[in-house]
Every structure is written in structure tokens, then in C-alpha cells.
Amino acid sequence: MYRPVTATRTSLPVWMIALVVFGVLAILGIIIGLLVHFLAVENRTYYYQGSFKVVNIPYDSNYERETSPESNYLSKILENKMVDAFQSSSLYRQYINSQVIKLVPDNSGVTAQIWLIFKAPRSVKAGTRTRIESILHQMLKNHSGSLTTDPNSLRLMEISKVDAEKITNNRCGRRARMSATYDRIKGGSTAQEGEWPWQASLKKNGQHYCGASLISDRYLVTAAHCFKKTNNPKNYTVSFGTKVNPPYMQHYVQKIIIHEDYILGEHHDDIAVILLTENIPFKNDVHRVCLPEASQIILPGEGAVVTGWGALFYDGAYPVLLQKAPVKIIDTNSCNAEEAYNGEVQDTMLCAGYMEGNIDACQGDSGGPLVYPNFRNIWYLVGIVSWGDECGKINKPGVYTRVTAYRNWIASKTGI
């Protein structure tokens, strides 16, 4: 018999339809939300590499040396020009950073190799390279000041993050991704990964013994007194990274060159270089510091940072993670005052710390770096932790080997 029941069965109850519609709408909403997020809201970082030419500069080989004052001054001028150009452009929100990586002089001028970072949502990114190019082109056309730049020499291309990092890691004294923050050795605070990529731990029979600084892919500098017990390379290893124990990776020592005028038990000429058995590939958290020129003047009052795994206070405990402490350069005269070191500080040494005491390097920091950033925020090794009367005592700041005084000695031993 005919029963019209199925018809009523096929129409779903209203609540169920509402539920289905609601579910579909919710899923659609999530998908649209995610799309908007990834395409229009979430920022991605883009890296670019390029070059342009400054034409009215006579050939000067000093531009070939990355640490020369000539290189730093010209680079700074060009870097300022780039910051100004991008910050007053329509890309000012996307602009993160721009740097001169290298200068290449020739008979018709100096070519500047540059490196840029921008941040933009995917949807906005299209056309960014052309926009950057046109901003730089305009900048090169405007000859403000005495420099003449050639807009037609401009080259620009997008590169990967890995290649961008490679470029900075190959230059001295730069950090891959760092905004240095001092929150809190003695009176210091824990360093972040990659903050002091040149810092090495020199280990004697596997135990941290001294600090050292990487100055090339094979050489380090440290203190001569670190080898007072033995200078057999076989007894030493070198490690990097913020954690001293267990080390992330060990490197072996081929040769130890101690300053020929260093005398055991005395403080002068406290410097040595270490040659590793193999070249180290540079990475974000392992690369070299810049060496200052012999003629560089280190001004008293300037801020510097000392880093190491040394004792947290005199005769105290040792940290596992690398410590950093902000210090100030102290002039040799005050450091030689009667109540201070009473004439013991020679002009091949450098005092840094505070006459009031408290923040200082300590035992186990020896051989490690005292660094400061120049006006381009590039880090230079100005001192090597050498000696002091205990740690952080009033009127007894840290005394360091003055690197500028040994710059030529380092060159004569390493070719760097």
C-alpha cells in the first residue's frame, strides 16, 4: 500500500540543517582567516644582495681592508644614505636593515657590495624588489655631499636567508640576528646564543681553562699565561657555543705561538695565538671578531663588554653558560694611581671595569675577549683578559693585554 511516509523522512529537522550550515560557515571562516593571515598579515623576511659604484674616489688600497678607518667611514656614509632613502620612502614600514658588506676599489672608483632586509606580508611582497631598486636608483642619482654615485651601476637580487647569513658570517665582528640587551663573570649576565660568536673556550685535558677569541677560520688569540703549565698542543682543545660543558663540538690545536718576550709570572706581553688543525666553517654562532688597526685609539670612558666562563666571584663557582659584563675603558693614569695599581700598568696594557668595583672579569676568563662595537656596530677585539687583583675589588679594575699594541705581532705570526 502507498504510504507517503518517506517524504516526511527525507526532510531533515530544522536544527540539523542549521547545524550543518553553521559548520560549513565556520570552516569557511577559518579558511578565509588563515588565508588572510598568511597572505596579508603575517610578515615574512626577505633578503637582498646588490652593489653600486661610487665613481669620484681615487684608488686607495685601504678600502680593501675591512677594518680600516677609510672603509668604515665610506661604508657609514653609504649606510646612512640608504637608511635615509628607505625611511623616507613608501617602503618605510617594510624596511629592516641595510649594510655595506664590502668595498672593492679599482681605478675608476669603489664598488660597494650591499645587503638588505625587508619584512612584508606575502600579498605585499610582489614587486618589492623593483620598488627597492627604484628607491636606490633615485638615491644614487641624488649626489648629496661630495660623493658621486652611478645609478646605472646598481645591481640587486633577492637571496635566501641561508645565503644572507653566510654573507654576514664571513665578515668580522657582526652578529647574525642580534639586538644586544644587557639584563644582568662577576656582576654579569647570561649571554644569548650567537651573541659573542668569536668567544672560544680553551680546554686543558677537556676542562675549561681559559677564554680565547676567533680571529680567522683557523687562528685564535688568547693570553700567554694560559700555557704556564704546558704548551703542548696535544693537551688542548677549543670549543664554541654558549654552553661550556659538554661542548657542542671540539676542535684540535696544531700549534701554540707564545709571545717571545712573555716571562712566566710577569704580566707584560701576555698574548699567544693558537692555530687549529682544521679550518672552522663559519656559522651564525661561530665566526670571527675584527682586529683593530695598530693605530686605533681606544678612548677612556668608552663602553666595552667582557665575556667568559670564568668564576662568578673570586674563588667562587663557575657558570655553565657564557657570561657577559658591560665595562668601561679606564685611562692608564688613573689605573696607575697609588690606591689602584701604583704604576704596574704598562702602555701595552689596558684597564677596563669600574674604580667602584663589582663588575669585572675573574679567574678562568683569562685569554678571553674584551670587545666594543664601532660606530657601525661592528665588534672589535680591544683587550685580552690578563690580570687583576682578585675580582671586582674597589680601585682594582681588570687589566687586559692591549690588542692594538700587538696588532703587528699578530700579523707577523698569522698573516692576518
Helix (H), strand (E), coil (C) string for 189-203: EECCCCCCCCEEEEE
What are the distances in angstroms from CA 228 to CA 4, 50, 415?
Answer: 105, 49, 25
17: cell is 540543517
Give whichever of 195 and 365 is closer to ligand ARG, judged by the CB atom: 365
Let me know: does 185 contact 310? Beta carbons within 8 Å.
yes
Residue from 360, 380, 382, 403 binding ligand ARG (CB under 6 A): 360
Q: Look-up: residue for cell 632586509?
A: 117
Task: Please report whether residue 366 would count as binding ligand ARG according to CB under 6 A.
Answer: yes
Phi (first) and psi of residue 253, to 5 degrees? -100, 130
Task: Please report whether residue 388 would count as binding ligand ARG according to CB under 6 A.
Answer: yes
Stretch that binds ligand ARG, among 52-60, 171-179, 232-240, 385-393 (CB under 6 A): 385-393
Let me know: does 225 contact 390? Beta carbons within 8 Å.
no
Catalytic residue among 98, 208, 270, 285: 270
Which residues are bridge partners to 317 per DSSP?
Answer: none
Task: Please report whether residue 403 would count as binding ligand ARG according to CB under 6 A.
Answer: no
Task: Please report whether residue 387 would count as binding ligand ARG according to CB under 6 A.
Answer: yes
Task: Please report whether residue 404 would count as binding ligand ARG according to CB under 6 A.
Answer: no
**261 labelled catalytic:** no
Encoded amino acid at 19, one letter: L
> Percentage helix, strand, coil, to 5, in the chain?
25, 30, 40
Give whichever of 195 and 360 is closer to ligand ARG, judged by the CB atom: 360
Catalytic residue among 71, 201, 225, 287: 225
Residue from 110, 362, 371, 382 binding ligand ARG (CB under 6 A): 362
With CB under 6 A as the rule, give the number of residues binding ligand ARG: 13
One character per residue 308-327, x = contact with ligand ARG (rule: CB under 6 A):
--x-----------------
Neighbours of 282 (CB within 10 A): 20
What are the distances in angstroms from CA 377 to CA 172, 175, 203, 271?
Answer: 11, 9, 30, 26
Strands (E), 223-265: 236-239, 250-258
The H or E element that residue 123 is part of is helix 122-125
**315 labelled catalytic:** no
Task: Please report whether residue 384 would count as binding ligand ARG according to CB under 6 A.
Answer: no
End-to-end, the C-alpha distance of the chain in Å comes to 104
Task: Please report whether residue 350 would count as binding ligand ARG according to CB under 6 A.
Answer: no
Using DSSP bridges, classify how beta strands 323-330 and 349-353 pair: parallel, antiparallel or unpaired: antiparallel
* Nearest by Cα to 52 from 121, 123, 110: 110
Instruction: Name the minimum Å distance from CB 366 to ligand ARG.
Output: 3
Task: Please report whether residue 369 would count as binding ligand ARG according to CB under 6 A.
Answer: no
CA-angle at 267, arms to 261 and 270, nearest 5°: 55
Task: Please report whether residue 305 would count as binding ligand ARG according to CB under 6 A.
Answer: no
Stretch that binds ligand ARG, among 104-112, 166-174, 253-261, 363-371 (CB under 6 A): 363-371
**251 labelled catalytic:** no
Task: Please report whether residue 187 would count as binding ligand ARG according to CB under 6 A.
Answer: no
46: cell is 626577505
Stretch that binds ligand ARG, among 59-67, 228-236, 254-262, 359-367 (CB under 6 A): 359-367
Residue from 274, 354, 365, 414 binding ligand ARG (CB under 6 A): 365
Task: Please report whether residue 103 would count as binding ligand ARG according to CB under 6 A.
Answer: no
Counted residue by residue, the chain has a size of 416
Task: Please report whether residue 349 would count as binding ligand ARG according to CB under 6 A.
Answer: no
Stretch that binds ligand ARG, among 34-42, 55-63, 331-339, 360-368 (CB under 6 A): 360-368
What are the distances in angstroms from CA 385 to CA 200, 212, 271, 318, 403?
Answer: 13, 9, 10, 16, 11
b/e per residue 318-327 (b: at least 16 CB within 10 A): bbeebbbbbb
**Which residues from 14-33 bind ligand ARG, rule CB under 6 A?**
none
Task: Please report whether residue 188 would count as binding ligand ARG according to CB under 6 A.
Answer: no
Residue from 364, 369, 373, 383 binding ligand ARG (CB under 6 A): 364
Task: Please report whether residue 361 would count as binding ligand ARG according to CB under 6 A.
Answer: yes
Instruction: Report the catalytic residues.
Output: 225, 270, 366
Chain residues binding ligand ARG by CB under 6 A are 310, 360-366, 385, 387-388, 391, 398
